[in-house]
Structure 1
Amino acid sequence: MATPPGGLEFCVFPTAIGHCALVWREPGVVVGSALPHGSPQSTRAAVARWYPEARESTPGADVAAVVAQVADLLETGTGDLSGVDLDLAAVPAFDRRVYEVVRDIPAGATLTYGDVAARLGAPGAAQAVGQALGRNPFPPIVPCHRVLAAGRQVGGFSARGGRRTKLRMLEAEGVHLEHPTLFDV
């Protein structure tokens, strides 16, 4: 059965950090994405909670290219997802502005929550930036993992695995915040 125009579709796909998901509507506009939730079934269940009308399907070439870019980013730390077409209609205006700034952070670079707030012309809004990133419906396309707490501290991360997942994503991009100890070697 074909998806009606504007209908939502999704796919779950393997990456170096686990099974991620991408939700889209034609013509290849990404409506949401998900980092791993522990298993392919758990990721599917999360998508079903967030987008109950979406049906699982095989992506066309445009969405398949985004899937490949996400998988490549999470494996090699390379790739530029800044050109992916996102549906921001349901995103509040402040969050949209935050996501625009964060999408401009290249792989291998970081900003702090305060840096993002300053770029928005809203110094002192670091906490609001953190809250907006905690609601990010497009990880890692909107690379919230590249935003750190003051002093280049990891800060929070709402994805499964929390700080460990954030560190793993950053390390794939060549950003090393914590140095291994004798017990890590």
Structure 2
Amino acid sequence: MAPQVFFHCYPTVLGHCGIAWTERGVVGSQLPEETPSLTRDRMWVRFPAAREVAAFGELPAAVQAACEGVRALLAGEARDLLEVELDDSAVPAFDREVLALTRRIPVGQTLTYGEVAMRLGQPGAARAVGRAEGHNPFAPIVPCHRVMGAPSAGKAANLTGFSAAGGVATKLKILAIEARATGQQAGEQQDLF
């Protein structure tokens, strides 16, 4: 029998985020939709059998800490959120590898889909990496916003696609917050090379 899933929606500087968990860890995180009610609706769609926990004080301590970590990250603190325990058992194996590597990209640094594929030892898998990032159930705990398309036509990075509400504009907003947290100008995120 599958463990009971719970979820909670909570305010951040960008809007209301959502988090879902079982006794094994966080099974999903949601960046803000356009309104708090749309974030809640999105959580119901993603986790239809979940029970909502409305009061922050009723959350397990680890989930409270995860929410506070996301709040801090989105408010401009350089937080890596590696302490958040994830339950990725429902995530396909390749996607787990991609997300594990993505999770280790430090605040203020970025990689391209191709660079992630190379680091996984699968240099031809950039599109598969992009698909895995696009299906990331843990944003922003797993910072898929730090992964970009390859540079083209004089651009430092290709900011194609971002599945959160607001799309690429949301990705840019989070990257700008992180750039300020690390003393950089937006767009100056350092590659890991």
Question: Aligned match of 2:48 in 47, 52, 57?
Answer: 52
Q: Give the ranges of 4+ consecutive aligned residues of structure 1 lying more than 4 Å apart after TM superposition.
A: none
- Structure 2 residue 140 is the aligned partner of structure 1 residue 143: no
Q: Return 5+ residue gaps in structure 1 as ranges.
A: 179-185
Letter in 2 for 1:13: Y
Q: Counterpart of 1:26?
A: 23
The residue number in structure 1 matching 2:182 is none
Larger mean Cα displacement after TM superposition, 135-144 or 76-85: 76-85
> Quick check: 1:77–1:107 contact (8 Å CA) kept in 2?
no
Q: State whether residues 154 and 177 of structure 1, in contact with CA within 8 Å, keep that contact through their aligned partners in structure 2.
A: no
Shift of 1:85: 1.0
TM-score by length of 2: 0.86
* TM superposition score normalised by structure 1: 0.89
Sequence identity percentage:
50
Task: Provide Cα deviations, 1:102-143, integer angstroms capped at 9, x if missing partner.
Answer: 001011110010100000000021111000011110000110
Deviation at 1:16, TM superposition (A): 1.4
1:171 corresponds to which residue? 176
- Deviation readout 1:22-44 (Å, 9 max, x if unpaired): 001126x1011111111111111
The superposition leaves residues 42-83 of structure 1 with CA deviations (integer Å, 9 ceiling, x where unpaired) of 111111111111111131221101100001111114212122
Kept in 2, the 8 Å contact 1:34–1:43? The answer is yes
Q: Distance in 2 between matches of 1:8 and 1:132?
A: 23
Q: Secondary structure at the match of 2:11?
A: strand
Unaligned runs of 5+ in 2: 152-156, 180-184, 189-193
Report the equivalent of 1:154. Answer: 159
Distance in 2, matches of 1:62 and 1:177, equals 33
Number of paired residues? 173
Corresponding residue of 2:14: 17
Farther-moved stretch of structure 1 (89-98 vs 148-157): 148-157
Q: Which residue of 2 aligns with 1:82?
A: 82
After TM superposition, the structure 1 = structure 2 runs for residues 62-81 of structure 1, keeping only pairs within 5 Å, are 62-81=62-81
- 3-state secondary structure, aligned to 2:82: coil
- The one-letter code of the counterpart of 1:18 is G
Instruction: Select 1:38's aligned residue among 19, 34, 40.
Output: 34
Distance 2:107 2:130 in 1: 19
The match for 1:181 is none
Amino acid at match of 1:50: R
Alpha carbons 1:80, 1:107 under 8 Å: kept: yes
